[in-house]
Amino acid sequence: MPKKKYTFIDLFAGLGGFHFALSELGHECVFASELRDDLRKLYNINFPGTRIEGDITKIAPKDIPHHDILCAGFPCQPFSQAGKRQGFNDEKDRGNLFYRICDIIDEHHPKYVLLENVSNLKGHDNGNTWATIKRMLEERNYDVQEQILSPHQFGTIPQHRRRIYIVCKNREYGDLSYFKFPEPNKRITCDIKKIIVESDPDYIPLKKDTREQLDLWQEFIDNTIANGQKIPRFPIWAMEFGANYDFKEIAPAYQDVTELQGKRGHLGCKIDGATKEECLAQLPVYARTDKSKVFPIWKIRYIEQNREFYKKNKKWLDGWIKKIKHLENSHIKFEWNCGNDATPTIEDKIIQFRASGIRVKLPTFSPALNLVGTQIPILPWVKLPKETLKPGEPDKGRYLTRWEAAKLQGMKNLKFGDDKFELTLTRSYEALGNAINVTVVKHIAKNLITE
């Protein structure tokens, strides 16, 4: 614990990751703001007595209590790789909320400023966005350091979640020459099983369709091994199996309709459209783009690798393809991120259904929690509480629970509600995906606040 108790404010508070971290280190939150009403209600449940307001743009900086530490996980969507990445040009002014942080700094001149955002912030707009943020902080007489860190680097939290952490100190109190970001421990091996609670009845079960899809991909793996092949390390784009449309010299969208007709497209089906639009609709989704006249090198390579794999395994793949024709595009794309030495089974791995395909990872650390509820990690091996099962239902396999997700964010004391209010399951996952990781902030704050 530090010798001195500091006051702090928690802006864009969400579930209160900064609050958990700094209060556990002995400091006091004197003000918080959170736009969403349901999260403000939950914040009151977890931190009773803390003043929390809504839209920070409608609160005058002078009406915010004096504080020693300003904490903010300012909105990341304008800088995220998953969004449009407009940054300060975001049409909804989310990027401009950083200016509100600066207004509050100008009014109160806190000793420390702690900020968190997506790792893509550092490289956004060729580094110009970060250069602007750093310059604006330095112009306010702050010494500034930044580092991209992930909880899994410290061993206690098995989650891969790269975020940029920005540490600032008011030069009136000295500089950051003494400060060092916590050093990642490269020797640590994480284990997702450390945070699993098999007795937790508050889980989302796997749908029948999901189990069938996983069974189909296990069949793919079994046949691959049985036929003397290794599980491909490149992404499997099954829609390329049997395809022979031209793609190397010029993208299909720039070809004449006669060059497309008669070729084979999605899952080897014959292209027989009367117009170019109809022909393009019979290609894999990623091959329809007209963004560039020539596909990028990585896309050409993946298509080539998948077609070569099909040629080697056509004998058994043709029968397997018939079983997957009804599936959505993202469900016939598959990524094996487990290496060549892992057991060739899905059941003991972490599964995630993503827009880019079904991703399989070793049961070491969870993929980053995110705002998309459909991408919650699947744990096929976890046994389900007997009291929750109906006769004949599978006794294992479910999604990561929200309580386990909270532990991944270092929020071991987080409450999801009380007898008057409960955050919905969907909103819980969304909020956790946008939350500040308590463990990483505590590591940083311990090194920063030494008085």
Task: Give the burial class of 211: count Cβ atoms within 10 A of its Cβ; 0-12 exposed, 13-18 middle, 19 or more buried.
Answer: middle
Token duo for residue 81:
């790789």
Q: Pairing relation of β-strands 112-118 and 163-170?
A: antiparallel
- The answer to whether the CB of 265 falls within 8 A of the CB of 329 is no
What Å distances lie between residue 154 and 237, 249, 437, CA to CA? 35, 47, 12
- The answer to whether the CB of 115 falls within 8 A of the CB of 73 is yes
What's the CA gap between 228 and 255, in Å, rounded? 38
Token duo for residue 266:
């999605």
Burial 29-46 (b: 16+ CB within 10 A, else e): bbbbbbbeebbbbbbbbb
User: Which member of 29, 71, 76, 168 is catalytic?
Assistant: 76
DSSP 57-112: GGS-GGGSPP-SEEEE----TTT-TTS---GGG-TTSSTTHHHHHHHHHHHH--SE
CA angle 137, 143, 144 (to 5 degrees): 65
Helix (H, G, I), strand (E, B), or coil: what is residue 175?
coil
- The answer to whether the CB of 130 falls within 8 A of the CB of 79 is no
Q: Pairing relation of β-strands 236-237 and 163-170?
A: unpaired
Q: Which residues pair with 336 in a beta bridge?
A: 360
The number of residues making up the chain comes to 451
The structure tokens 């069938």 sit at 212
Active site residue 76: yes
What's the CA gap between 105 and 220, in Å, rounded? 57
Residues 6+ apart with CB under 8 A from 90: 77, 78, 84, 96
Query: Taking each helix axis from N to C terminus, what angle separates 97-108 and 128-138, rounded to the nearest 10 degrees?
Result: 10
- The answer to whether the CB of 271 falls within 8 A of the CB of 263 is yes
What's the CA gap between 258 and 132, in Å, rounded? 51
Active site residues: 76
